[in-house]
Amino acid sequence: MRLAVFDLDGTITRHDTGAPYGLGFLLRERLWRLPALLLVLPLALGYAVGLVDLGQLKTVFYRITMGGSHRKDVERWTAAFVDRLLRRHGLFPQALAAIQAHAHAGDHLVLLSASMDLYVPAIGHALGFHEVICTGTRWNGERLDGALSTPNRKGEEKARCVTALLARYPGVQSVAYGNEAADLAHLKLVARGVLVNGSASARHRAAQEGITCVDWR
């Protein structure tokens, strides 16, 4: 058995999932809140230049698009969103093949994503993952708050999660797949790191760390 850790957005899926998930709910359930999205723009610009934390940006985005929603409405949208993602070829065929190969080999499959636990576990379940680690979302009873309940699982935080996984499976061979420069922090911790569709600069850094680079289309 090996430990096989997969990132989600850009590694398994062709595109980001967080924005379509939140915006899809907004357009479906609460269109009247659409103008409030203008409040996200200054934070998005601040994040782009390194002045705003991504966790802060996510909190504001999900509070605007989904904050106050009932758990049943969120679960209904999650089911529709995941079904649409899987049916509309939103995943890389090579990613699915890699997941299936690990499953057939009896490996322990872990989906590790900075995206939210509102929908990532449902994707993990649909794809046959044994374990899902992602960014948590705060609830007030049956109503969604939208703030983060865990650290944002990106960069060094994702590396911390991988370190904890490796400690739980001592002596087990490990492989991890990611797609961006921030993922290099955890890809270099495993026996075999794989950078998927990385940028030129990320590929250059990956080569220095002995990380394999592949193209999935």
As a whole number of angstroms, the distance between CA 7 and CA 30 comes to 30
Q: Is 155 left (phi over 0), alpha (psi -120 to 50) or beta?
A: left
**Residue 201: how many other CB atoms lie within 10 Å:** 9
pLDDT for res 52: 85
**Residue 7: how many other CB atoms lie within 10 Å:** 28
Classify 63 as helix, strand or coil: helix
- Tokens 């999660």 correspond to what residue? 161
How many domains, in total, are found in the chain?
1
pLDDT for res 196: 98
What is the band of 49 on the pLDDT scale with cuts at 50, 70, 90?
A: confident
Q: Mean pLDDT throughout 185-205?
A: 97
Q: Which residues contact 164 (CB under 8 A, 6 or more apart)?
A: none
Q: What's the predicted TM-score (pTM) here?
A: 0.95
**Given a cut of 90, is residue 88 above it in pLDDT?**
no
Looking only at the bridges linking them, the beta strands covering 131-135 and 108-116 are parallel
Name residue 187's amino acid: L
The enclosing domain of 26 has a CATH number of 3.40.50.1000
**Mean per-residue pLDDT over the chain, rounded:** 95
Range of the domain at 130: 2-214
Q: Mean pLDDT throughout 188-203?
A: 97
**Percentage above 90 pLDDT, the chain:** 86
Q: Mean pLDDT throughout 8-30?
A: 95
